[in-house]
Chains A and B, each alone.
Chain A
Amino acid sequence: MTPNTRQLSAERPAPATPSGTPVEPPRLQLKGLQLTYRMPPVKGRIRTINAVRNVDLEVERGKFVCVVGPSGCGKTSLLRAIAGLLKPTGGEVLIDGHPVRPGSKDMAVVFQQDSLMPWRTVRGNVRFGLDVRRQKKAAVADNVQRCIDLVNLHGSESLYPHQLSGGMRQRVNLARALAMDPQVLLMDEPFAALDAQTREVMQSELLQVWQRDRKTVFFVTHQLDEAVFLADEVVVMGAKPGRILRRMTVPFERPRSLSVKRTPEFLAMVEEIWELIEDGVRTAAAGGEE
């Protein structure tokens, strides 16, 4: 978010095409990504599971992408691979054409609930990633405060996570990632543990925050309406093996308000996605393999 870094990243030399005109690489690129897990052996047989097979995906700068799919389709694994938390067994993850590195300016992760350090205050948690980079407290104070204000936590800076509601904790979670000023924001079902009303409020607030500087967002969710409401593009995944079934562009114009969710077009789109993944969801719900 500091202007310097933004210019630096924009000035990275872009690979030239044969015709000689430089082409900017996509912000986030997955090339033939393969994630294979080794499961604990059953009766002496070693089992491997293809969590994700051969995923290609390109996300343009400033796009908000939501990934949906039945449980076990590897959407969270995909996110963990982009975050550098899971080593791909094949293919590669590139941000601005370079391999990812955790803790760099490349990306920051917003986790599901309760990944905040319970011994740090709101302010301390938001500063966590900057402390890891050994940045001086005074130097980052303004940035930290701005991120706290951005997620509407002004006045709660000195509270500890156990004193906060679920919604507030997720705001801290978001602010902690924003403070890193990442190129790509990775969000792993950040609102899944919240009650329905709080979730709606948080979705709206997230869009407002996003609207300001249009970071590239990779958002994993199992809530179809959440995906359609937030995203520029919904990536629908299927399970066994985890793969991309379809990529759908969301046509609704921005800024969006919650009333969009009640329009027939919105409901039709949710319905269309549901039909795509219905079989997979039923299999998963019937106790099929994860």
Chain B
Amino acid sequence: MSDLQVTLTIDGLRVTVPAGTLIVDAAKKAGIDIPVFCYHPKLEPVGMCRMCLVEIGRARRDRGTGQPVRGDDGEPVIDFSPKLETACTTAVGEGWVVRGLTEKAKAGRKEIVEFLLTSHPLDCPICDKGGECPLQNLTMAHGPGKSRFLHDEKARLAKHVPLGDLIVLDRERCIQCGRCVRFQEEIVGEPVIGFSQRGRGLEITTFSEPGFDSIFSGNTSDICPVGALTTTDFRFEARPWELRAAASICPHCPVGCNLTLNTRRQPDRDGQITVQRVMPRQNEMVNEIWICDKGRFAHHYAASPERLRRPMVRKSNALVEATWEEALARAAQGLRAAGGKVVGIAGGRASNEDLFNFRRLLEGVGGRAVLDEWMAGGDHAQKLGAGSKADLGSYGAGDAILVVAADLHEEAPIWWLRVRQAARRGAKIVVASALPTSLDPVANEIVRFPAGDAALAVLNVVHALTGDSTVEASAEPYEHAAAALRGAEDVLIFFGREGLDAAGSSALAGECATLLASLGCAGRARSGLIPVWPRSNTQGAWDMGLRPPSTGLKEALSDAKAAYVMAADPLRDDPGLAEALSGVDFLIVQELFLTDTARRAEVVFPAQAFTEREGSLTTGDRRVQRFYPSVPPMPEARADWRILAEVGNALGLALPGSSPAAVMLEIAASVPDYRGASYGELARVEAQWPIVGGDDLYYGGTAYRNEQGLGVKLVPAAERGEDFSLESHDLPVARERAPLMLLPVARLYDAGTTVGASEILRAHLEQASVALNPEDASRLGIGDREAVEVRWDGRVRRVNARVRDSVPPGLAIVPRSMSLELRGVRPVEVRRAE
């Protein structure tokens, strides 16, 4: 796109757009519809469906002077091409005249629709897309009213072709537009579906094993302009016009994808209003119009029959259901009795409002609130986080992105997708990690370091950058990484927690801050640090003043008389905490499910799921976003912020309890960064490109238009010109070494509270296992899938081995969700189980 502006006439309207704009986009920007099927504004034009045929008249130019030729009437001479042309493949030209409403152009559209319908089954009455189908709508608008094609001569094709376990293809409905294939190739870079055969036999097929092996597969059903691709989640469940839409935010990772939850009263669930499907809601600065399959399909936990329904209190050593009055009174009594020796443990999936009230309550009773997390860096993000204009969508040539100790594909998929797009636009990508990541193929530089040495690796890059001589011998990758970052205008640094314990994570955050400053990017509006948090609102928790306990949860609990746990299951994450918890006299848990931790509580409060309530979450790049209720709450469940206010009330503490908006007003008043973040501000929207949904769904797809808020981007201290110096951190030291080191890794489909409940994803869940390099496996006499014992720090677990070439030698890899008491890398022994 260039700065040069071009003016042309489309359907009689004068339109001025940047040179290089395609006619179809220029028309859309001016509010003129040129119908399309294969064209999608996020994809490269292919001109396959031929629906966008228009008459194009080009201003005649004098060959010598290049000046427009004028006729006798003084008007520029326009030469119309004898053939209709595709508006989706033709860029605008100065003085051109585009006609889409002439008899010729209208006939062209009608004829293309007629062709498309010859092989189409016209089964709209039973089609999931019916009601939001571009083919249906464009047929009504442009097509012939009557078929000239004999019904018996229609192609009869398979109507139930599972491409994978999440997406089903109806071959009869497919119009071969290739949007799905191109999405996987261009946007995702996981080309696992494609065309096979030719002509009328041209069909979509998958060539991955398992089928459609991509974590973004659901998006193809949004951009499919017919009912050919449906999700197994929504297929045959409801008609689009029966659905109500509520705005939400994905609760699964720190990206904060904007969602729309579609709900309907469900006959087979006693008329309950339930979530029928999760759809992307456009936010071009966050998720554009995409979401990952976890966000789309893992919502079922919120409606799980296993949810806690009533408050529970412990009576004669058993948890029994109780009234709210009784439970609140017991909780207040227990907290009072602890005499200030109270520790509150909250998880990063709670909303800002919940976390704010949590801290208020805990501090109000003289205790303290900590974050159920050990990863550091929230304060670094407050000072040096992503700046006010740091939008991955604007990243391209001249910019650089460093991803260190994180696998974005597994931990924050839409960031992965958008970093990949930035790479395609020319941004330099540097990946630094112990394990190969899915970003490696687009990386300009890859730095591999021993697991756990992330901070040291970044320090080496800093040294290479500043010319410091302390760089270790194998300096070359660091030099290259420094060279890739050095010339960049703006730099984003994503840092994670691969192989890191609390100290290592703190050192990494510190080194990343040093690196950003060394690059001269501290305080720049498009630069900054982005922590890849394990939870959706961990950054919000930091902003609300919660911190990981500096010496660990066990230590924090050691002299506590009471503990209050919200939106966390510390016992499941670390069974080793059992002892510490049993030393606590009084445990309160507010949760969705009767978790391992909840089972030991004196009082359990049933909390509302994100689908049932309002609140706000803060993304890893520090955008505060609102989510709204979509279904009525379970009758006895209450929102976390409200439960806390009621407990506070019973203790004589005044906590905001009338509404989440009221809590946010208090937050805005007491947390300086959140000064402008009222619910009204969070709900502000502006026009976005491309245009999606509503009458434009033929164009951008069925992603929802954002009418409920783009959120508020917080401005880091450095950009505000304030002091951004951070507490000094210990210099990173090399980890302890052993022939085999145990490395816990994050996986997208972990077996946690919020994913395991979705039956549709069960086959994708990460199983407890230990992955070894073939060399190590053979040295240890271990075969693939064999049962093994994993021993570390005096502990032992029995799991199945996986032997994988992708595992670097010397590492034994276990999924984090396996409930190991394990933070960083530890020396380990793996041997065949007896």
Partners in one complex: no
B residues whose Cβ falls under 8 Å from a Cβ of A: none
A residues whose Cβ falls under 8 Å from a Cβ of B: none
